[in-house]
Amino acid sequence: MPPGKAVRVLFVNEYFPPYAPGGAEWSTLRWARVLIELGHDVHVATIKRGGPEYRNENGVKVHSIPLPLKCPRDQRTLPSWLTESPIYWLYFALWIWRIARRERAQIIHAQSKGSLISAWIAARLLRLPIFLTVRDTGLLCPLSTCLVQFRRIPDDCSYWRLITKDSAFYQSNYLRHQNILARALLICRLTPKWFVTKVRQAAMKRLSVLIFVSHGLSDVYAQTLLRGQSSLSVIYNPIDEESGINEPDSLVSALNTAKLDGRRIVLTPGKLSPGKGTPVLLEAATRLATDFPNVLFVLAGKGRLRWPRPENVLLAGSLPHDELLRFYRLAELVVVPSVWPEPLSRVILEGMLNARPIVATRTGGIPEQIENGRTGLLVPPGDTQALAEGIAKLLNDPSLAASLGCEAKKTVIKKFSARVLAPQLVGLYRKAVAINAKPQD
């Protein structure tokens, strides 16, 4: 196709802002706005959760697909018994087919593993190129707990391992009940999920283009599932520069006085879980309590805390995105203590954009975001002592913290801006459309 011609693309995801259970939805919205600014025609197919079936939000054309049941109106996800059933896949696929055909889409781009099968079916029916952006390790295993324990896929990865070793680890670290009945119920849930994962993996290997959000994530998949494949593309998620708009000092002071009593804030946004390094952070906070009595560790994320909470830790819960952005302005530094291979941390991107120094672990895609000693500090995953020392170093040296934060903002704008990343995605789109337009033998 001609180099300057607009591409007509249909994004597919079960959720879309304002209903955003995770970071994938905000990244999808950002990509849609970026492509529209470049003159491309972008539509989004998502599940209806209130409001009209079609809406146009600043050029993003959102098609809401109705479900014959009432969807939760908050940030909760749909039940897996629904979204992992063949009936749901076919129903979603027919709606995607209808929308793509009506809008004359040239590309169908699935934005999550949950939308993969339906998007793939619709693309095959229409003979269109099908893209998938891989944002986590969910296509490898229903649990992926081995990546929390070993940071790599073990050689004995199998259904048997899932219902024995992995389920035992998951129960002891994530479930409230530790009895035999809870274990049996977990295995009953995991069995269909295992087969769903295998179906998704089969579809994944038949895609036109596979995009990973970091090299660290693509390396995890290349260990086993995609071993030997060289056609894996890596395109980072673009930053939303509005996330770096500074709040007025008066607002920051008001929030500080009203909620946090003027204490020095160390912010950790994210789910409360072993994989996200919550127990490591809590232990580090305990070690720092005596030396830094005026420091408050704020944990902003969903989940139930299963470990003792030190007095210098505040649980802020799951915050609306706008309110979380304000917390970045209050924090002296941001800590990302992930143990599992973090694909591409949106928390880090937002912290860097707000010129906040970051202490994070050297795992997954994080080293692609932070250069140790220049834009932040990197420590080994699971190392409580190293994490505490990194936090203390920045708390004791405000000038170093300010320098790292300033350099982080420059770097994130330079490396993760839409003007740098968009040509990569558009180039893949144009190549796929051109190949698809050639006569088939």
β 60-65/54-57 pair status: antiparallel
Q: Which domain holds residue 87?
A: 8-156+194-238+418-437
Sign of CA dihedral 260, 292, 317, 244: positive
Whether residue 252 has pLDDT greater than 50? no
> What pLDDT shows up at residue 79?
85
> What pLDDT shows up at residue 323?
80
More confident of the two residues 270 and 367: 367
Same domain, 149 and 126: yes
Q: Average model confidence (pLDDT) for the chain?
A: 88
Residue 142 neighbours by CB distance under 10 Å: 21
Same domain, 396 and 433: no
> What pLDDT shows up at residue 72?
64
Strand ranges for 25-176 from DSSP E: 41-47, 54-57, 60-65, 107-110, 130-134
Q: Tell me the pLDDT tens digit for each residue of 126-177.
A: 999 999 999 998 898 888 888 887 767 777 788 898 889 989 988 888 888 8
Q: How far, in Å, CA of 212 to CA of 137, rounded?
A: 11
Nearest 5°: the CA angle 109, 319, 398 is 105
Report yes or no on 185 lying in a domain.
Answer: no
More confident of the two residues 187 and 57: 187
- In DSSP terms, 212 is beta-bridged to 134, 234
β 358-361/313-315 pair status: unpaired
Q: How far, in Å, CA of 383 to CA of 281, rounded?
A: 10
CATH number for the domain spanning 36: value is 3.40.50.2000
Helices 116-126 and 86-102, packing angle to 10 deg = 50
Same domain, 210 and 265: no
Report yes or no on 177 lying in a domain.
Answer: no
- Do residues 36 and 60 touch, judged by C-beta distance below 8 A? yes
> What pLDDT shows up at residue 245?
52
> What pLDDT shows up at residue 53?
81
Encoded amino acid at 103, one letter: E
Same domain, 404 and 425: no
Whether residue 321 has pLDDT greater than 90? no
Same domain, 234 and 328: no
Q: How far, in Å, CA of 5 to CA of 327, rounded?
A: 42
Residue with tokens 């995609």: 226
Same domain, 17 and 120: yes
Residue 89 neighbours by CB distance under 10 Å: 22
Same domain, 431 and 395: no
Residue 33 three-state SS: helix
- Do residues 109 and 9 touch, judged by C-beta distance below 8 A? yes
CA 426 to chain centre: 22
Q: Tell me the pLDDT tens digit for each residue of 23-35.
A: 788 889 999 999 9
Cα-Cα end-to-end distance for the chain: 20
3-state secondary structure 93-108: HHHHHHHHHHCCCCEE
Of 218-227, 274-283, 384-393, least confident by mean pLDDT is: 218-227
Same domain, 248 and 359: yes
Same domain, 203 and 246: no
Same domain, 339 and 204: no
Residue 55 phi/psi, 5-degree rounding, is: -145, 150
Could you give the number of structural domains in the chain? 2
Mean pLDDT of 287-291: 95
β 377-379/60-65 pair status: unpaired
For residue 115, give the nearest of 142, 140, 88 by alpha carbon: 88
For residue 118, give the nearest of 106, 107, 110 by alpha carbon: 110
Of 42-46, 93-97, 300-304, least confident by mean pLDDT is: 300-304
Same domain, 227 and 277: no
> What pLDDT shows up at residue 185?
93
- Do residues 74 and 96 touch, judged by C-beta distance below 8 A? no
Same domain, 386 and 406: yes
Mean pLDDT of 85-94: 95
Residues 6+ apart with CB under 8 A from 303: 271, 272, 273, 278
Residue with tokens 């909470």: 309
Helices 398-416 and 384-396, packing angle to 10 deg = 110
Q: How far, in Å, CA of 186 to CA of 167, rounded?
A: 7
- Do residues 76 and 85 touch, judged by C-beta distance below 8 A? no
Residues 6+ apart with CB under 8 A from 299: 268, 272, 278, 281, 313, 314, 315, 316
